[in-house]
Structure 1
Amino acid sequence: MARHIFRCPLRWADMDAFGHVNNVAFLRYLEEARIDFMFRLAPGEGSASFTGGSVVARHEIDYLRPLVHRHEPVVVETWVTDISAASMTVRYEVKDEQALYARASTVVVPYNLELGRPRRITPEERAFLEKYRDEDGTVAV
């Protein structure tokens, strides 16, 4: 099982009054990793996979320890745990060499922007997602 690795820079504005990265910034980190995974890495140049749109149906985040602002990026590992006819669950770990800061999951629904409604996952999209599928895939803290 492969994992998508995204190195996400931390921004000064991500820090809260207590000197650590604010919980809302984690959602941006997940979004950046997911966009890189689905729109940059997805099945090759010229492919229409995922470009028709998608919406987030659910986020779930477990914050494991504070992430202090620094100049080095944080690593966001991304993989897929569930693929249905019209949704996928993407899992993440936000970490560096020293610590695991958060675990998260997002349910993503492919969306037809022109029709304004959800759509099914295409065979090409499913084939791509299967390369990153792992039913469990969590690391013990």
Structure 2
Amino acid sequence: MQVRWSDVDLFAHVNNAAYLRFLDDARFALFPSMGVDPAGRPTDSLLVVVKHEIEYVAPLAFRPEPVAVDVWVPRIGRSSVDFGYEVLDVAAPTGAAEPVVYLRARSRMVQLDRGTHAPREFTTDERAVFEQYAGEAPVLHGW
């Protein structure tokens, strides 16, 4: 993910709203058929965000080097799915054991029927796509 100049706010770091775009772009890159067919037309199902939990771990400033956004699926319900995320450096800094983590987050999305907007259970095929990316829930520190 490339940090754009417009992602940076008056405090010289990536704005919290820009991070939501990072998460959305990474999730859609991994799951491109969420609510659209291969031609980009809306399908009968609609996967909508109902909750975000975000922990800002370290400030991320504008820079030419990209950052990585890891995405995985810690929970699949009947009609909802949780995504875990980390925004981090592509590589660990020189001499460091681990890459710098800038953000940890999780989102819950619910699948709706496009016509009725009522929750719709995942099909076996939809569930199988999410199961390919199973992982543990990210640990977010409470208030």
Whether these two folds match at TM > 0.5 is: yes
AA matched with 2:118: R
> Tell me, which stretches of 5 or more residues in structure 2 are unaligned?
93-99
Identity over aligned pairs, percent: 39
1:127 and 2:128 are equivalent in the alignment: yes
CA-to-aligned-CA distance 1:60-90 (integer Å, 9 cap, x gap)? 0010000011122210000000011010110
Q: 1:76 to 1:82 in 2, by over 3 A?
A: same
AA matched with 2:124: P
Q: Is the 8 A contact 2:106 2:138 kept in 1?
A: no
Q: Which residues of 2 match residues 75-86 of structure 1 at below 5 A? A: 75-86=68-79
Q: 1:81 to 1:51 in 2, by over 3 A?
A: farther
Give, in whole Å, the separation in 1 of the partners of 2:73 and 2:137.
Answer: 9
Give, in whole Å, the separation in 2 of the partners of 1:94 and 1:135.
Answer: 16
Give, in whole Å, the separation in 1 of the partners of 2:135 and 2:44.
Answer: 24
Give the corresponding residue for 1:68.
Answer: 61
Q: Is the 8 A contact 1:111 1:117 kept in 2?
A: yes
Deviation at 1:51, TM superposition (A): 7.0
Q: Is the 8 A contact 1:39 1:51 kept in 2?
A: no
The DSSP-based 3-state class of the residue aligned with 2:23 is helix
Give the corresponding residue for 1:13.
Answer: 6
Deviation at 1:128, TM superposition (A): 1.3
- Give the count of matched residue pairs: 127
Structure with the greater relative contact order (CA < 8 A, sep ≥ 6): 1 or 2?
1
1:32 and 2:25 are equivalent in the alignment: yes
Q: Is the 8 A contact 2:81 2:110 kept in 1?
A: yes
Q: Say what the alpha-carbon RMSD is for the aligned residues.
A: 2.4
Q: Tell me the TM-score normalised to structure 2 length.
A: 0.79
Q: Tell me the TM-score normalised to structure 1 length.
A: 0.80
Q: 1:39 to 1:100 in 2, by over 3 A?
A: same
Question: Which one has a bigger Cα radius of gyration?
Answer: 2
Give, in whole Å, the separation in 1 of the partners of 2:44 and 2:63.
Answer: 33
Q: Is the 8 A contact 1:87 1:108 kept in 2?
A: yes
